[in-house]
């Protein structure tokens, strides 16, 4: 019997080792809990070795653009070129996530802010219980707009809203826009105040393409407060610059209408009161420009009339023109309608 003892002891030890291994590799429900199954493959994000800003190019810029896109800060093209649209996206990130005051944004991403960008759920709605599945929050102090769907941001974009200043201009109003119930475009002199009122509203109308209104030129507008709309604009600077509308970058306006629907809530935060405290105030009423007059056109097309007009517009010279018949015109007091809403 003694000659079998070593074999018996070895068998007992083997059984113990197998039992111990099974216990360490199984959960209470009998499923495998090995480190590979639990943790899975991990992705290492390359560290940022320089501060990214406008004008730079490279793979690190491309990674930044992709991460901004993933977080709904749409930088437009993912091309590795830090252009103006990327700058606008970074502005929105700085103002909304880093809490940088609007006037102090740099439009750049440091290695530290790059690490912060790796986090999820950076933006949460201020109105998580909004009555519509999709709602929009507009932050006037930050000049940022966010579209939320089921509490998650699906678009975060830099914007430019009303300046708060008084203005008087000659405007062109397309048929169907406020102030023109007719069938032809209408030109008139208008004075107003460039205000984007705080309050809570809903989207009620939209138009495709270019529209001219009392507030200026709009691209793909979606209206939520009288003639005030969210619309595309060629110029969306880092400051309020519109007549009251909410300007968004052109590439965003190409699909913005697909993100929202009629009846979706719009909350405008002005940093003074909560939107609900205002209700839904309408924008300030405009009025006719008292100094605006319509140009009187002359039917004469002779060179004499053209010469007289040119002489009047030019600065005085030593040459004295010969007396010629003059064409009577009325004074035009107007401002070129170059501003966008």
SS (H, E, C) 70-107: HCCECCCCCCCECCHHHHHHHHHHHHHCCCCCHHHCCC
State the pairing for strand pair 152-158/144-149: antiparallel
**What confidence score (pLDDT) does residue 14 get?**
43
Start and end residues for every CATH 2.40.440.10 domain found in the chain: 144-288
- pTM of the predicted structure, to 2 decimals: 0.75
**What confidence score (pLDDT) does residue 150 get?**
97
Phi, psi (rounded to 5 degrees) for 6? -55, -40
Average pLDDT taken over every residue of the chain? 82
Q: In what order do the strands lie in the sheet with 166-173?
A: 166-173, 186-193, 287-288
Q: What is the residue whose two structure tokens read 């986090």?
A: 119
Give, for 18, the enclosing helix (H) or strand (E): helix 5-24
Please say if the pLDDT value at position 112 is more than 60.
yes
**What confidence score (pLDDT) does residue 341 get?**
60
Give the residues across from 172 on adjacent strands: 187
- Assign domain 144-288 to its CATH superfamily: L,D-transpeptidase catalytic domain-like (2.40.440.10)
- Number of Cβ atoms within 10 Å of the Cβ of 14: 10
pLDDT tens readout for residues 198-252: 999 999 999 999 999 989 999 999 999 999 999 999 999 999 999 999 999 999 9
- Number of Cβ atoms within 10 Å of the Cβ of 339: 18
Give the residues across from 189 on adjacent strands: 170
Please say if the pLDDT value at position 31 is more than 90.
no
Please say if the pLDDT value at position 177 is more than 50.
yes
Q: Report the interhelical angle of 84-96 vs 59-70 (nearest 10°).
A: 50
């Amino acid at each position: 019997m003694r000659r079998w003892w070593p074999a018996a002891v070895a068998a007992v030890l083997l059984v113990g080792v197998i039992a111990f291994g099974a216990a360490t590799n199984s959960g209470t429900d009998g499923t495998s809990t090995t480190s590979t199954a639990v943790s899975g493959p991990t992705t290492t994000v390359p560290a940022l070795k320089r501060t990214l800003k406008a004008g730079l190019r490279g793979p690190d810029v491309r990674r930044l653009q992709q991460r901004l896109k993933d977080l709904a800060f749409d930088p437009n093209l993912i091309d590795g070129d830090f252009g103006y649209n990327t700058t606008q996206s970074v502005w929105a990130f700085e103002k909304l996530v880093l809490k940088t005051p609007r006037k102090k944004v740099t439009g750049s991403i440091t290695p530290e802010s790059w690490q912060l960008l790796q986090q999820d759920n950076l933006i949460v709605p201020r109105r998580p219980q909004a009555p519509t599945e999709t709602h929009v929050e507009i932050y006037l102090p930050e000049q940022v707009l966010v579209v939320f769907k089921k509490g998650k941001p699906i678009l975060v974009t830099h914007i430019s809203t009303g300046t708060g200043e008084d203005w008087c201009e000659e405007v062109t109003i397309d048929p169907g826009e406020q102030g023109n119930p007719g069938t032809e475009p209408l030109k008139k002199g208008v004075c107003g105040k460039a205000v984007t009122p705080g309050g809570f509203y809903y989207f009620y109308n939209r138009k495709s393409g270019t529209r001219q209104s009392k507030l200026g030129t709009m691209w793909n507008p979606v209206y939520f407060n009288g003639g005030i709309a969210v619309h595309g604009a060629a110029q969306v600077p880092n400051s309020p610059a519109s007549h009251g509308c909410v300007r968004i970058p052109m590439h965003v306006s190409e699909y913005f209408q697909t993100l929202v629907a009629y009846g979706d809530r719009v909350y405008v935060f002005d940093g003074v009161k909560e939107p609900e405290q205002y209700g839904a105030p309408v924008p300030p009423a405009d009025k006719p420009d008292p100094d605006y007059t319509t140009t009187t056109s002359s039917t004469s097309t002779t060179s004499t009339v053209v010469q007289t007009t040119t002489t009047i517009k030019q600065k005085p010279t030593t040459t004295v023109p010969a007396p010629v018949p003059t064409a009577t015109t009325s004074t035009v007091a107007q401002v070129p309608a170059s501003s966008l809403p």
